[in-house]
Structure 1
Amino acid sequence: MSSEADAIVSAVIAKWCAGFAKLDAVALSSLYSTNAFFFGSNPKLYRGRDGVADYFNGLPRWRNPNAAFSEVNAVQASPDLINMAATISFDLAGERDDLVVKMSWVLIREDGDWKIVNHHASSQAPLI
């Protein structure tokens, strides 16, 4: 992982976790590209910032949500593209069972800033 890609991904993760802790759909959707594809915790494909906001606005209003990223891997695939994979542990303070998912993001440089253009969450449990 390059130090530049690591720093960029770390900054986006910090903003994402802060937004998730407040379930702030506006703050979270601002981290995504206008052309984003988003697969979250349900089968629907959400598109663009409005779709991302719809997803986060549709989540239950947990009192104290927390997300922690681990096993973060990032690579700068081109000057304007970073590929990231990680594990995210969601602590929902006993309001539902804790959730651990695999996450992949593709970040692109858009209007001088780094935005998530592809977000894919999947089960950590083997499917096959």
Structure 2
Amino acid sequence: MAGDHVSNEADAIVSAIIAKWCAGFAALDAAALSSLYSRNAFFFGSNPKLYRGRDGVADYANGLPRWRKPGAAFSGVQAAHAGPDLINMGATVTFDLAGERPDLVVKMSWVIIREDGDWKIVNHHASSKAPLI
């Protein structure tokens, strides 16, 4: 079935990006993280500011506390093509900061586009898992 192939492709693309993202986060490597984003990216992380482009993502990453052993685990990942060059991703991400602060659990969504023959995150939004209403 064509639909299964497309969803499997989206899952594989998203899994590869998540693996690179988690490795970059574990090293607090701003260059590695920002390379996963589109040159036109919009990025809402754990503070109120909207960061734009790869430089913005690098600024955000460079501004994070220098935790000794940061880790991120994605769960409940949903990925689907929204068009031939567009993938939607939603997940829960648990940030384990090795006791330096309580674990942080967020809802994460990414919009991923095909850019220059590669898949890049063009929209990144993290928000509290705790209900607002």
TM-score by length of 1: 0.99
Q: Does 1:110 align with 2:110?
A: no
Partner SS, residue 113 of structure 2: strand
| Counterparts of 1:102 and 1:27, CA distance in 2 | 22
TM-aligned CA deviation for residue 123 of structure 1 = 0.4
Partner SS for 1:125: coil
Partner of 1:71: 76
Between the aligned partners of 2:101 and 2:64, the Cα distance in structure 1 is 12
Runs of at least 4 residues off by over 2 Å: none
Identify unmatched segments of 5+ residues in structure 2.
none
Cα distance in 2 between the residues matched to 1:24 and 1:70: 22
SS at match of 2:23: helix
Please point out which of 68, 78, 84 is paired with 2:89: 84
Task: Count residues with an aligned counterpart.
Answer: 128
Opposite residue 113 of structure 2, the aligned amino acid is: I
Q: Considering only aligned residues, what root-mean-square deviation do their CA atoms show, in Å?
A: 0.7
1:56 and 1:70 map into 2 onto residues whose CA distance is 22
1:119 alignment partner in structure 2: 124
> Matches of 1:36 and 1:115 in 2, distance apart?
9
* Sequence identity percentage: 84
Deviations 1:43-77 (A, max 9, x none): 00000000000000000000000000000001001
Secondary structure of the 1:61 match is: coil
Provide the TM-score with structure 2 as the length reference: 0.95
Bigger CA radius of gyration:
2
